[in-house]
Chain A
Amino acid sequence: MTTSTRTLGGLAPATGRASAPVPGPASGAAAGTAPRGGALAALFHATATQAGVAVVVVLALLAALVGTAPFARQPTQGTEILVPAYAAASFVLETLTAALLFAMFHVQRSRALLRLAAGYLFAALMVPAWALTFPGVLSGLGVDAGLQTTAAIAAVRRLGFPLFVLGYALAPVCSDTSPRSLVPILRTVLAVAGLAAVCLWLIVEGRPVLPGFMADDRDVTRLWYRVPAVAILLYGLAAAILVWRRRFALDMWVCLVLVSLTVELALMSWLGGATRLGVGWWAGRLYGLAAASIVLLVLLSETTTVHLRLARAVAAERRARQDRLTAMEALSATIAHEINQPLASMVTNADAGLRWLGKAEPRIDMVDAALRRIVADGHRANKVVVGIRTMFMTGAQEREPLDLGALLRETVRDKASEARAAGIAIDLDLDPALPPVIGNALQLRQVVANLIENAIDAMTATAGRERRLRIAARGAERGEAEVSVADTGGGVPPELAERIFEPFVSTKPEGMGMGLMFCRAVVEAHGGRLWVAPARPRGAVFAFSIPTALVPTNAPEVSR
């Protein structure tokens, strides 16, 4: 490093380094992970394909480095003319990369992306000035910026970029939750442009006091070698932080960029003797350009994927909202139907009663029957309303620890006379060690009452069998309690077993087809499940599980 006295004013990203001739700490870290794509993929949360591409690119870079090394010191003639072309390519690549990163930031709101984009933008903005001041490039136009200007610009660019990358590496992982807006992007662009302008202005205005990087148009002084050395140290530091933090797949590509920059600097500053326009000087730049192109392509496909995913998420959200709307529509149609049915029946019964009453010989027996049906219909409509109120009333989401056993005993007591009238024997089998559950007492009681009523109806509908209602509760594993209501009725036909929880589906001749839908909604809102199974030797078992209060961690909010 110190041997060669000649130096070059490299383009911003491309210059030498201070210590070892081969990649410094930066590339060391990245290259160390390179040979094993799988490990690399795991390290950066990247896909195996991405890791494979990265490994191939790193290996190709190293191979190119080795292959070019013997010729690196050969000078070239008349290649100044290529400098603007290289600068243009570099400018376009870096601007595009910055734009893509800004676009990614716009979607993902990660400050890290903003810093990286700023780094690329800064590097890109320094390129034109570097090319314009490059000795011999624009001499035809009479531009003479002075011996040290180009090298100073290159040094600022070389050292500025890794500083931005460091900022990227140190950025917090969490995303900004502020609403999507272009303001932070615009602010960053303006700030970077201002910074670049200030740097250039200082360099141009401070020409007389610029450090002496260049001995002549082509060769550097020893002072220059500090620039690539510091740059490579910064690369290494950034790469080490990236590997250590293991954040996301983009980090792997940034590490790849750091490796390619290290290779570039190695070729230009040490292997190429830091001579401007030599084989090593050019080769290093071209390899860097190629690596940058690959990373740009990767970013491009990443961005496309991100936008695709975003579009898909938006579509999914829209679908979910549609589903919710449809469910609401179905529910309101159900409610309308369930209330309208008894209403219609009441009206017709009343009409019939009036007609029987208005006859020449009024049929009091028929009027009596009609009035009784009206009473039953009124109760039925009320039941629907109560069910809806229980489901939607304020405080329905309030949960507290409950004694499940007491709740079951009370509900059974409420239903006992109804069961006795139907000739049904009730067994209540409660686990003495039943844990308290978390829930809404009113709603759970409604669920149990509903299941008991269903069981009574099912058994009343069948004749000549033993009528036995068995209600059991026990603590299940995984912090749940399980309640089952078994009857000896006709059972649920297998084809209806799952559909029976849908609105309008019922096995009862006069069933509303709403009770079980309500039960399931309540149980699931409690974080539990409700299901039906056949009972032996006949009948059905309806059972539900519900979280117990023994798992207090956020249990009250388990509702889905």
Chain B
Amino acid sequence: MTEQSAVFVVDDDHSVRASLESLLSSEGHDVHVFGSAEAFIAAERPDLPGCMVLDVRLRRESGLEVQRELGRRGIDLPVVFITGHGDVPMSVAAMKAGAIEFLLKPFRDQDLLDAVNKGIAIDQSRRERAARMAELRDRFAALTPREREIMPLVAGGLLNKQIAGHLQLSEVTVKVHRAQIMQKLRARSLPDLVRMADRLADDIAKA
């Protein structure tokens, strides 16, 4: 992960911060440390797969609150919580909010490194998914309005004849559109197209 990932440490204790920086960079991580959540939010972050190591109890705010705030700001980084004295409700709340791991200080170094690696892997695949989705969206944007109309019908399993009847077009026209759609979206087969249609529908629904 040396060149391809970043770890963000947010802890208000400078000694803990320095120790984490040293430990993580000894494993080749690109480590960025912050004394507060504001500093982290304000900072310029490298556009790399990453993971966050967050102290539950920051000077003026709770790490759980920071986690929510990041969510609101669309910063979608996996979070590894570390805490001096965790209790069960706190860890449950953190895990529910999507934390990777909840580590009690002092923790075993391997536990932290594993959690961070897991977080980076999760972020990596999330980013890949997002990139694929973005590309698909671009391809979809290249479709003409008529093609966008026809695509869901094709994906829905209708025959060309049925689509032609539905849209009052000639079957040949539908065939041409269909070929265009497959080509523009780079779908290799009908099932491939169906999957793309599903993902696009999910994406639109999410937006």
Residues of A within 8 A of B (CB): 333, 336-337, 340-349, 351-353, 355-356, 359, 363, 366, 369-370, 373, 376-377, 380, 504, 506, 509-510
Contact = CB atoms under 8 A, between A and B. Distances in A.
B15 A373 contact: yes
5 contacts: A340-B84, A342-B15, A352-B22, A355-B26, A370-B19
Contacts of B20: 348
Contacts of A353: 22
Nearest to A506: B59
A366 B105 contact: no
Contact of A373 (B18, B106, B112): B18
A373 B35 contact: no
B85 to A, nearest CB: 6
B109 A348 contact: yes
Most A CB contacts (10 A, CB to CB) among B19, B35, B59 go to: B19
Interface string B88-111: 000000000000000001111100
A377 B15 contact: yes
A277 B185 CA distance: 121
B85 A348 contact: no
A348 B84 contact: no
A250 B79 CA distance: 70
Contact of A510 (B14, B23, B107): B14
Given A352-B23, A366-B26, A345 B15 contact: yes
Given A509-B12, A509-B35, A510-B14, A348 B19 contact: yes
Interface of B: 12-16, 18-20, 22-23, 26-27, 35, 57, 59, 84-85, 105-109, 112
B19 A352 contact: yes
B15 A337 contact: no
A178 B18 CA distance: 63
Contacts of A337: 57, 84-85
B15 A380 contact: yes
B58 to A, nearest CB: 10
A345 B85 contact: no
Contact of A356 (B16, B22, B35, B105): B22
Contacts of A376: 15
B15 A351 contact: no
Contact of B26 (A340, A347, A359): A359
B72 to A, nearest CB: 24
A349 B84 contact: no
A78 B85 CA distance: 89
A347 B107 CA distance: 8
Most A CB contacts (10 A, CB to CB) among B15, B57, B105, B107 go to: B15
Contacts of A370: 19, 22
User: Which 8 residue pairs are nearest across A and B when measured between Cβ atoms?
Assistant: A344-B105, A351-B109, A352-B23, A347-B106, A348-B19, A352-B22, A344-B106, A355-B26
Contacts of B16: 341, 344-345, 348
Contacts of B59: 504, 506
B56 to A, nearest CB: 11
Contacts of B57: 337, 504
A348 B106 contact: yes
A340 B23 contact: no
A351 B105 contact: no
A352 B85 contact: no
Contacts of B35: 509
Contact of B13 (A336, A345, A352, A356): A345
A347 B57 CA distance: 19
A377 B108 CA distance: 18
B13 A341 contact: yes
A295 to B, nearest CB: 59
Contacts of A336: 84-85
Contact of B106 (A343, A352, A380): A343
A275 B27 CA distance: 115
Most A CB contacts (10 A, CB to CB) among B12, B23, B57, B59 go to: B23
A340 B13 contact: no
Most B CB contacts (10 A, CB to CB) among A336, A341, A373, A504 go to: A341
Contacts of A359: 26
Contacts of B22: 348-349, 352-353, 356, 366, 369-370, 373
Nearest to A351: B109
A510 B55 CA distance: 14
Most A CB contacts (10 A, CB to CB) among B20, B22, B57 go to: B22
Contacts of A343: 105-106
Nearest to A370: B22
B108 to A, nearest CB: 8
A355 B113 CA distance: 12
Contacts of B106: 340, 343-344, 346-348
Nearest to B35: A509
Contacts of B14: 509-510
Nearest to B14: A510
A340 B84 CA distance: 6
A352 B109 contact: yes
A355 B23 contact: yes
A472 B105 CA distance: 42
A490 to B, nearest CB: 15
Contacts of B13: 341, 345, 510
B85 A333 contact: yes
B105 A355 contact: no
A348 B106 CA distance: 7
A369 B23 CA distance: 12
Given A337-B85, A380-B15, A510-B14, A344 B23 contact: no
A370 B23 CA distance: 9
A509 B15 CA distance: 10
Nearest to B59: A506
B15 A510 contact: yes
A337 B57 CA distance: 10
A355 B109 contact: yes
A373 B17 CA distance: 11
Contacts of A340: 84-85, 105-106
B165 to A, nearest CB: 70
A341 B109 contact: no
Nearest to A356: B26
Nearest to A336: B85
A333 B86 CA distance: 11
Contacts of A510: 13-15
Contacts of A366: 22, 26
Contacts of B107: 344, 347-348
Contact of A355 (B15, B18, B27, B84): B27
